[in-house]
């Protein structure tokens, strides 16, 4: 799937590389930058840490309190075949969500490693926000430049040159652009 926060054409133009590199190489950088930015944005997403089911009801457990409501459609991913998909919420608790399933067998509560994910509707189109697009482009340029000349360096927080551009200051350089859209949970650590 092509990146949509920054396009290949935008990155080629910003770098002035024209058609020197294949689309696959440039698109890979665009997608990497988008993935980095998406990981920091606030989506209606929670980690699924455990699940269980009867023959008619599945229960998924979230790591933190969620804000899903009865009747809402959610999407469950990476939680196992019988749990995955688009589901309609039938019951909620602080750390769990229940929905109807049609299973041949029940399953006792199991921890889910690695964690799955559950998504609700997000009512913002990040692709249409210029600040998100610009932040993604800036990160894509940094990734490209680090690939081409790994000793091109960046500047560390104490204003000393650093040989590594992909360090902890990568997001710091665009945090101001993304500030209004950052996920509160993404700020920890």
Cβ atoms < 10 Å from Cβ of 8? 20
Q: Rounded to an integer, what distance in angstroms lies between the CA atom of residue 45 and that of residue 118? A: 6
pLDDT in the model for residue 156: 56
The parent domain of residue 133 ranges over: 15-42+126-187
Residue 52 lies in a domain: yes
pLDDT at residue 1 greater than cutoff 60? no
The answer to whether the Cα torsion of 90, 96, 102, 104 is positive or negative is negative
Instruction: Write down the pTM of the prediction.
Output: 0.71
Q: Rounded to an integer, what distance in angstroms lies between the CA atom of residue 98 and that of residue 56? A: 10
Over the chain, what is the mean pLDDT? 87
| Domain final position from 119, 150, 168 | 119
pLDDT category of residue 37 using cuts at 50, 70 and 90: very high
pLDDT tens, residue by residue, 54-98: 999 999 999 999 999 999 999 999 999 999 999 999 999 999 999
Residues 98 and 70: beta-carbon distance below 8 Å: no
Residue 106 lies in a domain: yes
114 three-state secondary structure: strand
How many domains, in total, are found in the chain?
2
The pair of three-digit structure tokens given for residue 16, joined into one six-digit string: 């002035």
pLDDT tens, residue by residue, 137-151: 999 998 898 887 655
Let me know whether 52 and 105 are in one domain: yes
Q: What pairs with residue 182 in β-bridges?
A: 41
pLDDT in the model for residue 189: 43
């Amino acid at each position: 799937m092509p990146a949509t926060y920054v396009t290949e054409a935008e990155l080629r133009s910003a770098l002035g590389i024209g058609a020197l590199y294949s689309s696959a190489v440039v698109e890979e950088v665009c997608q990497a930058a988008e993935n980095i930015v998406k990981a920091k944005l606030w989506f209606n997403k929670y980690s699924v840490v455990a699940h269980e089911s009867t023959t008619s009801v599945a229960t998924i457990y979230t790591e933190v309190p969620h804000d899903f409501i009865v009747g809402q459609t959610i999407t469950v991913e990476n939680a196992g075949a019988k749990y995955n998909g688009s589901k309609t919420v039938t019951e909620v608790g602080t750390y769990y969500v229940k929905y109807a399933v049609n299973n041949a067998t029940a399953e006792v509560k199991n921890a889910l490693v690695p964690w799955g994910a559950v998504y609700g509707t997000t009512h913002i189109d990040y692709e249409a926000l210029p600040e998100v697009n610009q932040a993604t482009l800036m990160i894509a340029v940094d990734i490209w430049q680090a690939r081409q000349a790994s000793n091109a360096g960046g500047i560390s927080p104490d204003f000393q040159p650093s040989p590594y551009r992909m360090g902890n200051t990568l997001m710091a350089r665009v945090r101001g652009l993304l500030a209004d859209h950052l996920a509160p949970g993404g700020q920890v650590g």
